[in-house]
Amino acid sequence: MEKIRLGIIGLGQRGYGLLKDNIVKLQEYYNVTALCDVYEDRIEQASKTVVENGMEKPFGTTDYNELLMRDDVDAVLISCAWEYHVPVACAAMKAGKAVALEVGGAYSVEDCFLLVNTWEETKVPFMFMENCCYDKYELLATSMARKGVFGEIVHCSGSYSHDLREEVTRGKENRHYRLRNYLNRNCENYPTHELGPIAKLLDINRGNRMVSLVSVASKSCGMEAYVEKHKDTMNPELIGVDFKQGDIVHTIITCAGGETILLKLDTSLPRYYSRDFTVRGTEGFYEQAPNIVFLEKDVDHTIFESTTSVVKHLNNGKEYEEKYLPDIWKNITEEQIKSGHGGMDSIEFIEFAKAYLAGEEMPIDVYDAASWMVISVLSEKSIAQGGAPMDIPDFTGGKWTMRERRDVVPM
Amino acid sequence: MEKIRLGIIGLGQRGYGLLKDNIVKLQEYYNVTALCDVYEDRIEQASKTVVENGMEKPFGTTDYNELLMRDDVDAVLISCAWEYHVPVACAAMKAGKAVALEVGGAYSVEDCFLLVNTWEETKVPFMFMENCCYDKYELLATSMARKGVFGEIVHCSGSYSHDLREEVTRGKENRHYRLRNYLNRNCENYPTHELGPIAKLLDINRGNRMVSLVSVASKSCGMEAYVEKHKDTMNPELIGVDFKQGDIVHTIITCAGGETILLKLDTSLPRYYSRDFTVRGTEGFYEQAPNIVFLEKDVDHTIFESTTSVVKHLNNGKEYEEKYLPDIWKNITEEQIKSGHGGMDSIEFIEFAKAYLAGEEMPIDVYDAASWMVISVLSEKSIAQGGAPMDIPDFTGGKWTMRERRDVVPM
């Protein structure tokens, strides 16, 4: 079988993690031929990992243009800092390389149009690598929705609820881009983990579209309190510094179909991890945090204490797996589950490879990328204007009315 | 001990329920002397209940002005339809009667100012009867917040998540005001069950205030699907009728202190009951639905599956009761718990009576009433304008900067 000769641009936590935990284990599909990062030590580490896993020593460079000029690269995984996602992806497309673009929010509406326009000019295979579109619970609920179990869908919500206080405040040591974003910006800076699966479920850009949003941020206290509490071991540059990023940001999106989407960014206060993927319909709902499926048959007007209901239905999502869980999750291997984020990364990289090698349409395309990434920009504007509604551009130029559903895996 | 000679205006589900389940059991504080409703049969039923419980037969009338003119009425409980809350309350205050005003949203900003202005002219005892301010879990979390357990509070959320499809669609038979509201309006029509306890916790109108809001509604499908599904037994007037009320309405309020409040109205889709009272701070949080207290000590960066976290912490709020639950809940009797809504109604009516009889400041006052009720009006405007931000009036006229904290019970 043909393999994808892959270049990786960006070898930090995410890029190196994907290489080490997934790509070297998927040599059936991938041969890593080139590596790029602005830091030499990261290239060296990644190169060693590639060689140790039986591939030839890849080309290494600190200049992504050098990587993009090479004939031995078919596709690039772009996992650099958020600020470089669009320029690197556009350069790669212009160089005729297929693009697997890691997730993150955008910084301008124009950048999102640039991404779309560059793809429309080049038409190279392009996939937005939103791994959460491939996670088990999102796919279970999507499959149930597709089979009509929840009736007409009227609302979805989700969050990026992830205590990042340590990661962000160690940003200097770790050379991580989140720190500068949290210091300077105030927005829904990372919308796609929750929005991606919701947008796929609601057929966004394929029969539906996101029309407008409002976004509101709480004050910013979490990072500063964390810095103060850990000041003995803290990077001294952060002590007493004002973080602009609000602790909790809510964004409400309205869709052409009348559905609403609630997003929450919740990353600088103590909490447990959750994406809170929730699907609400006229016949029932799915709630990810307690893994609850609740249908008409479960309605009980005698219970007013919510804890009683949570206890009663907790984790009953399991009971629906046999009937509704997509095959890709039914057939997942132990090795895949261990290979990063519980298996979704592995599935995602296999799906990218399969679509690329078969010359098929990518499951998450440039219109998805642009419309999901632009939420950060519009959220920033809305927050700055006291929650004012912002129009969400139609990146398909009206083609959403004729484009057909494309689920990320068969349902 | 002196008793309050009470008139009740509005003897529907709520008014009659309060009479039967609470007021007749609180004869230490209350003597029911007058009853009013627009429906004679309701007056008759209530009068019978009063007499059966050993009180003298009360005066009955269909004209609330007649009730308000009587010398044997010290105070009135106003539990009529939402549309009449403000005019009846103002008439009562002008007649020199103390007012216990049941909850509901308002229909105009002017009405809210009228309520405040009438109170400022008359200064009669006035309490807004938001029973959820007295519920166990709201008070547990508020007490913990007061003791600094959650650090600096940055965000609160709550919902009125109550499947009202049956109640609303039976509105004609039950002569209930919700039906006409759901048919004609689209707004956060019932904000105070969740907002009340949050506003008290955040010291709204007492050192803090709500400054602005945005509100967005999903499409309206739930009621229509319910009517269609139950058309054999449905009021034929509702078949095929368009309900204007969106199924899920989210409202985000920004406070002067930088805190945000997220409210959700969620009443026309299948679900379990929940008010989702949630308090987020720099040191931890409280979440009502699973009754979870989560503090810095609970942070665990190895768990990415939210169900695991919910299972791990589920109902651990119980562990904090001994140390933090206010005495009023520690000392609650079995009889109180059985007397409606798990005990909070009983506590509330005792607190109203005690404050009235002692001539003390009411725990939930006219400024609270106006600023909580106005959310419905502003939500309606915001939704109609695509989620545009709305200023929330300062009903205290600047006095919020000098008014001191008043918790509903000692913490």
The one-digit pLDDT tens for each residue of chain A (411 residues) are 699 999 999 999 999 999 999 999 999 999 999 999 999 999 999 999 999 999 999 999 999 999 999 999 999 999 999 999 999 999 999 999 999 999 999 999 999 999 999 999 999 999 999 999 999 999 999 999 999 999 999 999 999 999 999 999 999 999 999 999 999 999 999 999 999 999 999 999 999 999 999 999 999 999 999 999 999 999 999 999 999 999 999 999 999 999 999 999 999 999 999 999 999 999 999 999 999 999 999 999 999 999 999 999 999 999 999 999 999 999 999 999 988 788 999 999 999 999 999 999 999 999 999 999 999 999 999 999 999 999 999 999 999 999 999 999 999
Cβ pair B238, A268 in contact under 8 A: no
- Which residues of chain B make contact with A309, given a CB cutoff of 8 A? 272-274, 289
Residue of A nearest to B153 (CA): A221
Phi and psi for A211 in degrees, rounded to 5?
-100, -45
Whats the size of chain A, residue-wise?
411
Out of B152, B252, B299, the one facing A387 most closely (by C-beta) is B252
Q: What is the pLDDT of residues A325-366, one digit of tens each?
A: 999 999 999 999 988 788 999 999 999 999 999 999 999 999
The arithmetic mean of pLDDT across residues B235-244, rounded, is 96
- Which residues have C-beta within 8 Å of that of residue A380, sequence separation ≥ 6? A185, A186, A187, A215
Torsion angle, alpha carbons of A160, A166, A171, A173, to 10: -150
Residue B340 confidence (pLDDT) above 80: no
Q: Which domains does chain B have, with CATH numbers?
A: 4-130 (3.40.50.720), 133-326+365-401 (3.30.360.10)
Nearest CA-CA distance, residue A271 and chain B, Å: 6
Output the pLDDT for position B56. Answer: 98
Cβ pair B344, B132 in contact under 8 A: yes
Tokens standing for residue A108: 């301008």
B221 with A152: Cβ contact below 8 A = yes
A155 with B314: Cβ contact below 8 A = no
A154 with B248: Cβ contact below 8 A = yes
* A304-317 burial code (b ≥16 CB/10 A, e <16): ebbbbbbeebbeeb
* A108-146 burial code (b ≥16 CB/10 A, e <16): ebebbebbbebbeebebbbbbbbbbbbbbbbbbbbbbbe
Please report the beta strands in B26-133, taking only residues with DSSP state E, as ranges in sequence order: 30-36, 59-61, 75-78, 98-101, 126-128
A285 with B262: Cβ contact below 8 A = no
How far CA B2 is from CA of B28, B293, B402, in Å, comes to 9, 42, 34
Q: What is the pLDDT of residues B71-115, one digit of tens each?
A: 999 999 999 999 999 999 999 999 999 999 999 999 999 999 999
A259 with B219: Cβ contact below 8 A = yes
Q: What is the pLDDT of residues A361-384, one digit of tens each?
A: 999 999 999 999 999 999 999 999
Nearest CA-CA distance, residue B221 and chain A, Å: 7
Tokens standing for residue A183: 């210091």
- Which residues of chain A make contact with B302, given a CB cutoff of 8 A? none
CA A326 to chain centroid, in Å, comes to 20
Tokens standing for residue A4: 């994808």
* B121-156 burial code (b ≥16 CB/10 A, e <16): ebebbbbbbbbbbbbbbbbbbbbbbeeebbbbbbbb
Tokens standing for residue B207: 């050192």
A218 with B155: Cβ contact below 8 A = yes
Out of B152, B291, B306, the one facing A272 most closely (by C-beta) is B306
B222 with A257: Cβ contact below 8 A = no
- Which residues have C-beta within 8 Å of that of residue B52, sequence separation ≥ 6? none
CA–CA separation, B100 vs B5, rounded Å? 13
A214 with B284: Cβ contact below 8 A = no
Out of B260, B272, B281, the one facing A294 most closely (by C-beta) is B272
The residue of A260, A295, A302 whose CB has the most chain B CBs within 10 angstroms, and thus the best one to mutate to test that interface, is A260
B272 with A221: Cβ contact below 8 A = no
C-beta atoms surrounding B393 within 10 Å: 18
The residue of B211, B212, B219, B267 whose CB has the most chain A CBs within 10 angstroms, and thus the best one to mutate to test that interface, is B219
Residue B1 confidence (pLDDT) above 70: no
- Which residues have C-beta within 8 Å of that of residue B128, sequence separation ≥ 6? B101, B103, B192, B196, B364, B365, B366, B368, B369, B372
Residue of B nearest to A297 (CA): B270
B310 with A309: Cβ contact below 8 A = no
A314 with B311: Cβ contact below 8 A = yes
A155 with B311: Cβ contact below 8 A = no
C-beta atoms surrounding A147 within 10 Å: 11
CA–CA separation, A131 vs A209, rounded Å? 21
Out of B212, B216, B272, the one facing A309 most closely (by C-beta) is B272
Output the pLDDT for position B338. Answer: 87
How far CA A386 is from CA of A165, A214, A265, B254, B259, in Å, comes to 26, 9, 17, 9, 13
Q: What is the pLDDT of residues B263-310, one digit of tens each?
A: 999 999 999 999 999 999 999 999 999 999 999 999 999 999 999 999
How far CA A188 is from CA of A191, A233, B336, in Å, comes to 6, 29, 45
- Which residues of chain A make contact with B315, given a CB cutoff of 8 A? 307, 311
How far CA B398 is from CA of A62, A73, B403, in Å, comes to 59, 66, 9
Percent of chain B surpassing pLDDT 70: 100
Cβ pair A243, A223 in contact under 8 A: yes
* B177-216 burial code (b ≥16 CB/10 A, e <16): bbbebbbebbbbbbbbbbbbbbbbbbbbbbebbbbbbbbb
Out of A282, A306, A385, the one facing B269 most closely (by C-beta) is A282
Element (H, E) at B213: strand B210-217
Nearest CA-CA distance, residue A248 and chain B, Å: 7
Half-sphere exposure of B289 (CA within 13 A, CB side): 24
A258 with B219: Cβ contact below 8 A = yes
| Listed residue (B153, B408, B191) closest to B278, CA to CA | B153
The residue of A154, A198, A294 whose CB has the most chain B CBs within 10 angstroms, and thus the best one to mutate to test that interface, is A154
- Which residues of chain B make contact with A166, given a CB cutoff of 8 A? 301
Output the pLDDT for position A1. Answer: 62
Element (H, E) at B250: strand B248-255
Phi and psi for A147 in degrees, rounded to 5?
-90, 5
Work out the widest C-alpha separation in chain B, in whole angstroms: 68
Nearest CA-CA distance, residue B275 and chain A, Å: 8
Q: What is the pLDDT of residues B346-401, one digit of tens each?
A: 999 999 999 999 999 999 999 999 999 999 999 999 999 999 999 999 999 999 99
Residue B135 confidence (pLDDT) above 90: yes
Nearest CA-CA distance, residue B175 and chain A, Å: 20
- Which residues of chain B make contact with A151, given a CB cutoff of 8 A? 221, 225
Residue of A nearest to B249 (CA): A260
Output the pLDDT for position B327. Answer: 97
* Amino acid (one-letter) located at A238: L
- Which residues of chain A make contact with B310, given a CB cutoff of 8 A? 272, 289-290, 310, 314
Percent of chain A surpassing pLDDT 70: 100
Output the pLDDT for position A339. Answer: 86
Whats the size of chain B, residue-wise?
411
**Alpha helix positions (H), B132-273:** 136-146, 165-169, 178-184, 192-201, 222-229
Nearest CA-CA distance, residue B17 and chain A, Å: 16
Cβ pair A169, A223 in contact under 8 A: yes
Out of B163, B218, B388, the one facing A155 most closely (by C-beta) is B218
Cβ pair A16, A337 in contact under 8 A: no
A388 with B389: Cβ contact below 8 A = yes
Out of B246, B290, B303, the one facing A290 most closely (by C-beta) is B290
| Listed residue (A264, A378, A307, A256) closest to B313, CA to CA | A307
- Which residues of chain A make contact with B300, given a CB cutoff of 8 A? 272
B270 with A214: Cβ contact below 8 A = no
B219 with A290: Cβ contact below 8 A = no
B294 with A272: Cβ contact below 8 A = yes
